[in-house]
């Protein structure tokens, strides 16, 4: 069982200095984590923001709240999560979701499938991501994704993985 942690999800940032100051303040106030949402609006992109926040702090966990699975292929998510976890000395937490905002899908020309389909796609993605983050050579043929003999390197610091 994981310990209960307190975190802050930050939505707006004005500059690099502003972002770093927010991260340092969140850490100084005793919070455990800083997460960034993944929406196609005026929010900062979550992966680079998490990495920057980790650079500005010492112990603060950083992560995604949550990545929309339909916007990224699971192999790329695993690669980026492993790299960010390595570069943050194991302080990255990867949150994943099935996507829920129809207008975002419409704006970028992606079909907004019914919830059950989006959840099935997320389930397949999690299977692929977990295998890759464990260092396995993944071959997967599902209804939504196909991966053949793929591995990633480097692997994440956290074991079994940085999924939150």
pLDDT at 11: 87
Q: Rounded distance, CA 6 to CA 69, Å? A: 24
Closest CA to 8 of 55, 74, 53, 75: 53
Angle between helices 16-28 and 46-56 (to 10 degrees): 60
| Average pLDDT rounded to a whole number, residues 122-134 | 98
CA–CA separation, 5 and 135 (whole Å): 27
Residue 107, pLDDT above cutoff 80: yes
Q: Is the peptide bond before 160 cis (omega within 30 degrees of 0)?
A: yes
Fold of 8-150: TIM Barrel (3.20.20)
Q: Does residue 12 carry a pLDDT above 90?
A: no
Estimate the crossing angle of helix 74-87 against helix 115-133, to 10 degrees: 50
pLDDT of residue 39: 95
The answer on pLDDT for 2 being more than 80 is no
pLDDT of the residue at 1 = 76
Rg (CA), the chain: 16
Full-model pTM? 0.94
Q: Which residue has the higher pLDDT, 3 or 90?
A: 90
Residues 84-99 pLDDT 10s: 999 999 999 999 999 9
């Amino acid at each position: 069982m994981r310990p209960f942690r307190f975190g802050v999800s930050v939505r707006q940032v004005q500059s690099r200095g502003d972002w770093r100051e927010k991260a340092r303040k969140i850490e100084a106030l005793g919070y455990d984590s800083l997460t960034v949402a993944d929406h196609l609006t005026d929010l900062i992109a979550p992966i680079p923001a998490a990495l920057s926040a980790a650079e500005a702090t010492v112990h603060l966990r950083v992560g995604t709240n949550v990545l929309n699975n339909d916007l990224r292929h699971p192999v790329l998510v695993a690669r980026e999560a492993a790299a960010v976890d390595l570069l943050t000395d194991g302080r990255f937490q990867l949150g994943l979701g099935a996507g829920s905002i129809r207008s975002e899908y419409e704006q970028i020309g992606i079909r907004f499938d019914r919830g059950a389909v989006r959840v099935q796609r997320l389930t397949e993605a999690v299977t692929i991501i977990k295998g890759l983050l464990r260092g396995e050579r993944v071959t997967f043929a599902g209804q939504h994704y196909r991966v053949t003999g793929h591995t990633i390197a480097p692997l994440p610091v956290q074991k079994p993985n940085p999924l939150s």
